[in-house]
């Protein structure tokens, strides 16, 4: 079974600064996918970034990037130039590839507050 751990229940950052959210995971599979989802107060689940485990290059999407350390089973999210609209709950998630049900396993979330 997969597990995803987010050890920071809450974080805060000043506008325009950089913040890193931590995530570790555990899986016995060799190939899998990792995700960061954002949930603003609207409650909508928004995919921020994804990483394929067999790709060593870290994924980036504009101000969002990840630090993927496969051996350490670590998948942190870096948000650069933080904006007020980044205030949200952030969930780390994983899915094993090659399975038949494509179930996503989520961490408990990190509430990020961006202060003006």
Partner 1 sequence: NAGVTQTPKFRVLKTGQSMTLLCAQDMNHEYMYWYRQDPGMGLRLIHYSVGEGTTAKGEVPDGYNVSRLKKQNFLLGLESAAPSQTSVYFCASSQGDRAYYGYTFGSGTRLTVV
- Reading phi first (left if > 0) and then psi (alpha if -120 to 50, else beta), residue 43 is in left
Query: Which residue, 84 or 104, has its beta carbon nearer to partner 1?
Result: 104
Greatest CA span in the chain, whole angstroms? Answer: 45
Taking the complex as a whole, the smallest distance from the CB of residue 1 to partner 1 amounts, in Å, to 9
Closest CB to partner 1 among residues 95, 114: 95
Please identify, using beta-carbon distances, which residue of 36 and 73 lies nearer to partner 1.
36
The CA distance from 41 to 79, in Å, is 18
Structure tokens at 111: 């509430």
- The DSSP secondary-structure symbol of 85 reads G
Q: Are 80 and 73 in contact (CB under 8 A)?
A: no
Q: What's the closest the beta carbon of residue 47 comes to partner 1, in angstroms?
A: 4
Q: CB of 82: closest distance to partner 1 in angstroms?
A: 23
CB atoms within 10 A of CB 93: 21
The residue among 57 and 101 lying less far from partner 1, judged by its C-beta, is: 101
Residue 115 CB, shortest distance to partner 1, in Å, is: 22
Binding site for partner 1 (CB under 8 A): 4, 6, 9, 33, 35, 37, 42-45, 47, 50, 52, 91, 95, 97, 100-109
């Amino acid at each position: 079974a997969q597990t995803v751990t987010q050890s920071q229940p809450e974080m805060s950052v000043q506008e325009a600064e950089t913040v890193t959210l931590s995530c570790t995971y555990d899986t016995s599979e060799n190939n899998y996918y990792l995700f960061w989802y954002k949930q603003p107060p609207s409650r909508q689940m928004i995919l921020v970034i994804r990483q394929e485990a067999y790709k060593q290059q870290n994924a980036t999407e504009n101000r969002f990037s990840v630090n993927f350390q496969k051996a350490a089973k670590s998948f942190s999210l870096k948000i650069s130039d933080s904006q007020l609209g980044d205030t949200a709950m952030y969930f780390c998630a994983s899915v094993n590839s090659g399975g038949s049900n494509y179930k996503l396993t989520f961490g408990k979330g990190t509430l990020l507050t961006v202060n003006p």
